Structure 1
Amino acid sequence: MSNYQDKLNMHFKGKVAVITGAASGIGKALAIKLAEQGCNLALVDRDIQGLMSVQAELQSYSITCVIEDLDVSDKQGFVDFSETVIAQFSRVDMLFNNAGVSLIDSVENQSFEDFHWLMNINFWGVVYGSHAFLPYLKKSPNAHLVNVSSLFGLLSLPLQSAYNSSKFAVRGFTESLKMEMAGTNVSVHCVHPGGIKTNITNNAKISTEHVPKSQILSDFNKQAKTTAEQAADVILQGLINNKRRILIGNDAKLLDRIVRWFPATYEKVLGFEKGVLAKRQKQ
């Protein structure tokens, strides 16, 4: 067994992890990799069929896995689920607030209904999950609270104002919580994935007023170089190394540097306004 595998096994065996958005993508990959290390799981998603499939896939491991159809934007639902988890396992050691949705539209065109829908899941879901499970995490000898932001929590793009808002908010909330947990047994981590091969963009609410949906999906799928499994590996390694900020993918690492080098002009350096200007010139 490699040194990395030894560390995984020592860090996660016998623990209890809660993962939101666990029916697919990074959430599912985390569930499988933690199960491989003997970690018990409490998985939630709105896709109950997907969750049942993941649960069935994990039956070969010597762990307990419970699943629940949970809307993370439901505050009381999260509280009730935390009590269910404690009743089942008597402990919680890790929380991965991973569930998220995407909305691609202009500020002028997008509806407040869509904006609220996204914020309720991407931001309030993180807040509700953190509040519901933090009292139990504080009782664990070595706990991790992991909130998934995005590369778009480090920089902004046109047509991503709602998504940017939610992911910048997750980042601010998580970094503040990390400071508040200083000196405790709870390590707090903010994850910033770049382009990951998941269905979040394929399932996004997309306005076709500005850019054809097919072009958006094609461009994203070309740029998404990192698999969900690779992302899960980076996240778990980040927990072992107690990293506050976990960047996933070379694209996230490079763009993070550019934003720090050119904080006031990165949109010009990266050409983010070219498409907007070209469209305006045609009008």
Structure 2
Amino acid sequence: MIKHFNHAVVAITGAGSGIGRALAIRFAQENCHLALSDLHLDSVEETKQIIQSKARFKDLKITCQKVDVSDQQQVFDWAKYVFDTHGKVNLIINNAGVALSGTVAALEIKDYQWIMNINFWGVIYGTKAFLPYLEQSGEGHIVNISSVFGLTAQPFMSGYNASKYAVRGFTEALRQDLEISNSVVSATCVHPGGIKTNIAQSARISEKLSKLTGKSSQDATKEFEMTFLTSAEKAANTIFKAVKNNKRRVLIGPDSKLYDWSARLLPSSYQAIFTAVVRSRMAKKK
């Protein structure tokens, strides 16, 4: 775990927008040096410019890299670059992720491969690539972003659910491994609810799902965005506090707490409730 944040080196994937950008700004406030990556280099460089536009952050070392987290070699090369450039790494936040919506029958194998490669394998690559450097730092932490979809399953979200449940299982096992081996590194699994980011804009929505629900992909995206209750800044602050206090699991937003409550009190019957709600919405569209 990290005891000293001043001049710690924090690596963040998906740092070009949303939670990733907010996390970069939040850790900069703790005088942390930053290694930022994103699939879109221009967006992550914009994050750097936003931070360096404030005088008190001008002395922070901030590096930016274009990284596709679904590419193992790119992630491992980036981890080595961060260590070689900054001299150490104390925290990796595996934040980059995408969304996918459609029935199991409608989605193709390549759709599942796409989302698992980013949301799950990206987390494994980030963890494995940075863990040796975190160990060398003397105090380190791994933050993996799951979701409320890693707490309960939702209709039409099998791919997203699978990836986020996988992140949860992997991270919880990782935390135990680190504790048993008396590692200087710890791990936290984060379950955000609806966060005000652009993930809905980049989500893949099956055309067959639009026919089934009677909603266009544009309408589905707008409806999805209406569930976003928590700001990225608030989410970032909650994650920072979780790292500081070495929390195992973090729930972000009132909806996340509601889903967690549903899973605890109604471990199987919550599915019938969710199904009924979706059927009711679909009936209103017809």
Matched, 1:197 2:199: no
In structure 2, give the amino acid aligned to 1:25: G
**Alignment counterpart, residue 92 of structure 1, candidates 89, 92, 107:** 89
Matched, 1:206 2:199: no
Partner of 2:123: 126
Matched, 1:261 2:277: no
CA offsets, 1:167-219, max 9 Å, x none? 00000110110000003211100000001010111220112233322332232
CA offsets, 1:31-88, max 9 Å, x none? 0111122100111111111111111112231200001111001111111111111111
Partner of 1:243: 247
Q: Is the 8 A contact 1:158 1:273 kept in 2?
A: no
Partners in 2 of 1:209 and 1:123 — Cα distance?
Answer: 29
Matched residue count: 273
Partner of 1:79: 76
Matched, 1:37 2:41: no
Partners in 1 of 2:282 and 2:203 — Cα distance?
Answer: 23
Mark the runs of 5 or more structure 1 residues left unpaired by the alignment. Answer: 1-7
**Shift, 1:144, TM fit:** 0.9
In structure 1, give the amino acid aligned to 2:262: I
In structure 2, give the amino acid aligned to 1:42: A
Partners in 2 of 1:33 and 1:15 — Cα distance?
Answer: 13
Partner of 2:187: 188
Partners in 2 of 1:155 and 1:127 — Cα distance?
Answer: 22
Task: State how 1:1-283 maps to structure 2 within 5 Å.
Answer: 11-59=4-52, 60=54, 61=57, 62-182=59-179, 183-207=182-206, 208-211=210-213, 212=215, 213-269=217-273, 271-276=274-279
Q: CA RMSD in A?
A: 1.9
Partners in 1 of 2:97 and 2:238 — Cα distance?
Answer: 19
SS of equivalent residue, structure 1 residue 176? helix
**Shift, 1:279, TM fit:** 5.7
The 4+ residue runs of structure 1 with deviation greater than 4 A are 276-280
Partners in 1 of 2:188 and 2:224 — Cα distance?
Answer: 26
**Shift, 1:257, TM fit:** 1.1
**Shift, 1:277, TM fit:** 7.7
Q: Give % identity.
A: 43
Which shifted more, 214-223 or 152-161?
Answer: 214-223
Q: Is the 8 A contact 1:21 1:44 kept in 2?
A: yes
Mark the runs of 5 or more structure 2 residues left unpaired by the alignment. Answer: none
Partners in 1 of 2:263 and 2:238 — Cα distance?
Answer: 22
CA offsets, 1:146-185, max 9 Å, x none? 0000000010101100000000000011011000000321
Partners in 2 of 1:231 and 1:246 — Cα distance?
Answer: 10
In structure 1, give the amino acid aligned to 2:263: V
**Shift, 1:276, TM fit:** 4.2
